[in-house]
């Protein structure tokens, strides 16, 4: 469901994207080509800063936002999800935040006030709060990363997790095409 926010902004959704009918997309949100938005996802850009301004939430092309994901932004701050990225089931992405291209955010993870570098893989049940991750970092399951975390204690992404991330993007790209075809049949 596409909704206007209190400041009058409506989402802008590419004709080649698929938004599940149970998802809620509200306000100053831009969804680019071939994006998959799964069931019960909520993407909401509706808060303004002290000056009354609001930055958009942008979901770039070929990205998938899976079931139950919440993307929101505090006080009008920007959120950008890069190209070919996967935000897995029940994750929370809260702005200010940037997830760069080819990243994977695992099930039930929380990302806030950070930049997640290109090609990063954050596994399930992780928290990344207030510390930017360089490109190609691997965050093991159930890791909590805050401002004082030593990034030298985690490694680069192993090839098997890069391949997994690519396969998730491919599978969801196929879903976009399939669900759009079904929607056109009804």
The CB-side HSE value for 94 (13 A sphere, CA atoms) comes to 14
Model-level pTM?
0.92
**Residue 46's CATH number:** 2.160.10.10
Structure tokens at 50: 């002290």
Print pLDDT tens along the chain (186 aa).
999 999 999 999 999 999 999 999 999 999 999 999 999 999 999 999 899 899 999 999 999 999 999 999 988 899 999 999 999 999 999 999 999 999 999 999 999 999 999 999 999 999 999 999 999 999 999 999 999 999 999 888 888 777 777 787 788 778 888 888 877 665
Query: Which residues, including other chains, have CB under 8 Å from residue 148's CB and lie 6 or more apart?
Result: none
Catalytic residues: 47
> What are the strands, taking DSSP E only, across 28-91?
29-31, 36-37, 42-45, 57-59, 64-65, 70-73, 79-81, 86-87
Q: Which domain holds residue 138?
A: 2-185
The total number of structural domains that make up the chain: 1
């Amino acid at each position: 469901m596409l909704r206007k926010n209190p400041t009058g902004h409506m989402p802008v959704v590419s004709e080649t994207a698929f938004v599940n009918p149970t998802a809620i997309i509200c306000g100053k949100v831009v969804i680019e080509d071939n994006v998959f938005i799964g069931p019960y996802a909520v993407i909401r850009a509706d808060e303004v800063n002290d000056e009354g301004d609001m930055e958009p939430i942008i979901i770039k092309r070929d990205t998938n936002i899976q079931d139950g994901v919440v993307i929101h932004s505090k006080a009008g701050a920007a959120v950008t999800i890069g190209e070919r990225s996967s935000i897995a089931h029940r994750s929370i992405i809260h702005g200010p935040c940037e997830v760069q291209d080819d990243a994977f955010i695992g099930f039930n993870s929380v990302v806030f006030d950070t930049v997640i570098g290109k090609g990063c893989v954050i596994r399930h049940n992780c928290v990344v709060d207030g510390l930017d991750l360089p490109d190609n970092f691997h965050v093991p399951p159930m890791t909590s990363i805050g401002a004082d975390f030593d990034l030298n204690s985690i490694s680069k992404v192993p090839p098997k997790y890069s391949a997994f991330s690519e396969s998730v993007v491919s599978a969801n790209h196929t879903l976009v095409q399939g669900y759009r075809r079904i929607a056109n049949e009804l």
